[in-house]
Amino acid sequence: MKEKTYYVCSNCGFKTTKWAGKCPNCGQWNTLKQENQNKEKSSNLKIIKLDEIESTEVFSYKTNQKQIDEFLGGGFVVGGVYLIAGSPGIGKSTLLLQLSKYLVENSSKVLYISAEESAIQLSLKAKRLNSKIPVLESNDLDDIIFAIKQKYDLFVIDSIHTIYSNDVDSFIGSINQVRLCAQKLIEVAKEYNKTIIIVSHITKEGLIAGPKALEHLVDAVFYLESDDKYNYRLLRATKNRFASTESVVIFKMTESGLNIIEDDFLTYIEDTKELEGKAIGAILEGSYLMFIEIQALCVKSPFGMPRRTSVGFDLNRLNMLLAVIEKRLGLPMFEYDVYLNVIGGFKVNNTLVDMAVVASIISSLKKITMSNNYVFLGEIDLLGNVRKTKLPDILQQKLKNSNVKLLLHENTPNVEKLLKAIL
C-alpha cells in the first residue's frame, strides 16, 4: 500500500495534504508537521465472540456522599475515564482534592497527580480541606503512565494542559499534546482497569480549551460552573456513559472547601426589598429549585425605535416576550425602552424564567411591587400560553410547607391570567 503523507497543524489540528509555512486555518507559522496515513499494520487481528467474554459486574468506587454518588450513577466506574472542565480558579482542584478525600475515606486507593501546582501549593489547599491523600508531582506522561500501572486504582490528572509526551513535537497545552496524552491515558485506563479523572480548563468562549476533541474520547464529561454572586458551584454532566445526565450537584464554596447543598430548595433571594420592576423567578436544575431575581426597567422611548437591552437573558427571547405582551395584553410596548437584568444565578439560558421576565416587565410598566413570596416559573409560547412544568414530588411537598406561592401553569395558564394574578 502506498503511504499517503499529510500535514497536521500542531496548534489547531488542521489537516492538509500540502505543506505550507503558515497554517491556512489558524495562521500560525511553522506549525504544520508531517504525518503518515495508511501505514501497513501487523495483521494479528483478534476477533472475539461476545458470548465468550466473561461478564463482570460494573464495579464502582463510591464517595459515600449521597448527592455525588447519585450524580455519578453509583460512583466512579472501574476503568472509566472522566473529564472535569471549568474556568481557571473556579474550584476544580478543590473539588478533586475533596473527592479524593471522600474516596480514600471509603478505602479506595487514589493518587493525585499534580502537573500544575507544586505539592507544597497543593498541600496548603489540602490542609484547608483536611485532605490527606498521596500526591505525585509530575508532568511527564511516561512517568504518569508508569505510576498508573502501579498499586493505585483511581487517578486524578490535574491538568491535561500541563502534561507532555516526548512523542509529540509540539508545545505543552497544544491540541496535539493534549489529544495524544489523553489518548494514551485512556488506553492505559482501559488496559489496566484504572479509573482516571482528567482536569481540563475551558476558555472564555466556554469550550474545553483546544480539546473539545477530548469529549468524545472519554466516558463522561462534567462541567463545574459558578454563579456570579453567591459563591455557589454547580456540577453538571453533558455526557455520561454510566448514568443519566439529568442530575446536578450544587456546592457552596467556603473557607474550608466546597459544601454540598443538600437542600433541594435553594434560597437565592438575599435582598428581600420589594421593588417596582422586580420579580422572582425559578429554574429547575436536577432536583434543585433555584430562585433568581429578575429586574426590568421600562421607560418611555424618546425615539420611534425603542431600545431593548438584556443582561443574562437572551435578547431575542426578550423581544419575543415583549411581542407576546403587546399582542396578548394590549400593552403598548412599542412606546417603551426595556432594560432587563438577571441578578446572580447561573447562566440562565432557561425558558422557565419567561414568566418571571414578563412579570418584572409588567411590574415596571404598571408601577406595582410584588411580594417576594410570589415566585414565577414557566415557559411562555407565542400564543401567550404557559407550558406545563412537572415539579419533582419532594419539591411540591416542600413548597406546600413554605410561604412561597409558586405561580406556574396551574394558577396562570396564560399571560392574561398572569396579569390578573399580579395586579
Distance, in Å, from the CA atom of 373 to the CA atom of 391, rounded to the nearest integer, reads 18
**Cis omega before residue 87 (within 30°)?**
no
Q: What SS3 state is found at 89?
A: coil
Q: Which stretch binds ligand TYD (CB under 6 A): 84-92, 271-279, 342-350, 391-399?
A: 84-92
Select the residue whose beta carbon is closest to Mg ion and give its number: 93
List binders of ligand TYD among 128-187 (CB under 6 A).
128-129
Question: In angstroms, what is the minimal distance from the CB of 13 to ligand TYD?
Answer: 25
Contact between 115 and ligand TYD by CB under 6 A: the answer reads no
Contact between 89 and ligand TYD by CB under 6 A: the answer reads yes
Question: In angstroms, what is the minimal distance from the CB of 231 to Mg ion?
Answer: 17
Q: Quick one: which of 255, 297, 258, 257 has its CA closest to 275?
A: 297
Distance, in Å, from the CA atom of 20 to the CA atom of 6, rounded to the nearest integer, reads 11
Angle, nearest 10°, between helix axes 141-148 and 175-192?
10
Question: In angstroms, what is the minimal distance from the CB of 196 to ligand TYD?
Answer: 17
Site string for ligand TYD, 236-275 (x = CB under 6 A): -----------------x-xxx------------------
Q: Which residue has the cell 435553594?
A: 266
Distance, in Å, from the CA atom of 273 to the CA atom of 372, rounded to the nearest integer, reads 8
Which residue lies nearer to ligand TYD by CB, 96 or 380?
96
Question: In angstroms, what is the minimal distance from the CB of 92 to Mg ion?
Answer: 5
Which residue lies nearer to Mg ion by CB, 11 or 93?
93
Question: In angstroms, what is the minimal distance from the CB of 417 to Mg ion?
Answer: 49
Which residue lies nearer to Mg ion by CB, 93 or 310?
93
Q: Which residue has the cell 501549593?
A: 121
Q: Quick one: which of 83, 77, 96, 86 has its CA closest to 221?
A: 83
Q: How many residues bind Mg ion (CB under 5 A)?
A: 1
Question: In angstroms, what is the minimal distance from the CB of 256 to ligand TYD?
Answer: 5
Question: In angstroms, what is the minimal distance from the CB of 96 to Mg ion?
Answer: 8
Distance, in Å, from the CA atom of 15 to the CA atom of 34, rounded to the nearest integer, reads 10
Cα separations (Å) of 74 from 67, 68, 244, 394?
10, 8, 11, 21
List binders of Mg ion among 87-126 (CB under 5 A).
93
Q: Which stretch binds Mg ion (CB under 5 A): 64-72, 85-93, 235-243, 340-348?
A: 85-93
- Of 90, 133, 218, 377, the one binding ligand TYD by CB under 6 A: 90
Q: Quick one: which of 423, 332, 331, 318 has its CA closest to 380?
A: 318
Cα separations (Å) of 305 from 49, 300, 308, 355?
70, 11, 10, 25
Question: In angstroms, what is the minimal distance from the CB of 224 to Mg ion?
Answer: 11
Question: In angstroms, what is the minimal distance from the CB of 253 to ligand TYD?
Answer: 5
* Cα-based torsion angle of the residue sequence 182, 183, 188, 189 in order, rounded to the nearest 10 degrees: 60
Task: Answer yes or no: are the C-beta atoms of 405 and 374 closer than 8 Å.
Answer: yes
Contact between 226 and Mg ion by CB under 5 A: the answer reads no
Contact of residue 94 among Mg ion, ligand TYD, none (CB under 5-8 Å per partner type): ligand TYD
Which residue lies nearer to ligand TYD by CB, 92 or 317?
92
- Of 10, 31, 63, 93, the one binding ligand TYD by CB under 6 A: 93
By CB atoms closer than 10 A (0-12, 13-18, 19+), residue 195 is: buried
Which residues, listed in sequence order, are joined to residue 380 by a DSSP beta bridge?
Answer: 386
Which residue lies nearer to Mg ion by CB, 93 or 360?
93
Q: Which stretch binds ligand TYD (CB under 6 A): 45-53, 90-98, 232-240, 291-299?
A: 90-98
Q: How many residues bind ligand TYD (CB under 6 A)?
A: 15
Q: What are phi and psi of 111, to 5 degrees?
A: -120, 125
- Interface ranges with ligand TYD (CB under 6 A): 86, 88-94, 125, 128-129, 253, 255-257
Binding residues for Mg ion (CB under 5 A): 93
